[in-house]
Structure 1
Amino acid sequence: MVGVKSVTMDGETICVFSSAIYIFESSTGDHLDVDMIVSEVSLRKYKDRESLIIEIELEDGRSISSFMFLKSLPGKLPRLHLFCEIDKDHDYEGILRISEDDSAFPDIEEGITLEDIRKVEMPNEKITLKLNLPIDQVEWLKMKKNKELNELFKEFLYEKMTL
């Protein structure tokens, strides 16, 4: 079976850690589906989008360009699901076919951990802290720029996390 080599969403190439491309055959019609494990950064960026222009490069050198619909799926890892109607003019030879009666779908989470994904692309998240500090420390903190404080706290926390 042919696999996915790369995915571009609305002109931006995203990092795909694992994927499965298949044709889902149902009584209402067949459609092309792509399940992907992506970074948390990509999931946050795209999860609320309904549709995207997708370019998929397959491992055998073929490419598929299509307007696809998007769903974020629950799981242990950040996951996106793309789907579109089958293009009658496109060659889908070698792509896995799954019937609606099949109970097993490809397990794309196997062998990947969230830690592996975060080594490649670590998301940032805002946090607000309420501290009770001596006035001289408060004054010193207020003189610093946010970028400096972010770096200072990152270094401090990573140092404490490794103890």
Structure 2
Amino acid sequence: EAMKRAWVASIQRGCAAAASGPSSPTRCLSALVGELRVRHDAARTTKDGLVLIDVALRPDESRFVALQVLRDFDVARNTGQMLGGVQFERRVLEKNGWEVKFLRYSDLMLVDEAARPFFVAEYLRNIGCRVVRHAAAPGEAGAGGNAIYAAGTARGGSGGA
């Protein structure tokens, strides 16, 4: 029990750190998802408090998707394989009813800044979020005069213990 409390405390500290700072990978991805008007939760913990979810999405009524940002230190440099901590978090999330998807932060940063919303929109489409183009509202002019609208709802809680 003491071990679990210590783990949960470290996750909560990580949650605060992930949500702070404008250059945080979690905050960056959350801002892009927000620009696309996808309802989501950023830097939240599971109900049991064991894992931090970078971006929580609900593409439809039956699916809860945890979009995790992979940083360079989350993968082996020579093989690209996810390291043990990330694998553990994935298993815990899956046990809690989450479908887990990963996005490498380095891949996102390789995309030109103006194209990042389109990159993320395509990624969201591929995981089942409805993304629809519509005419830009005043002040929302994007590439080609279009803005992107994506529909989704945030997950209220985990799907089991």
- Normalising by structure 1, we get a TM-score of 0.26
Q: Which structure has greater strand proportion?
A: 1
TM-score normalised per structure 2? 0.26
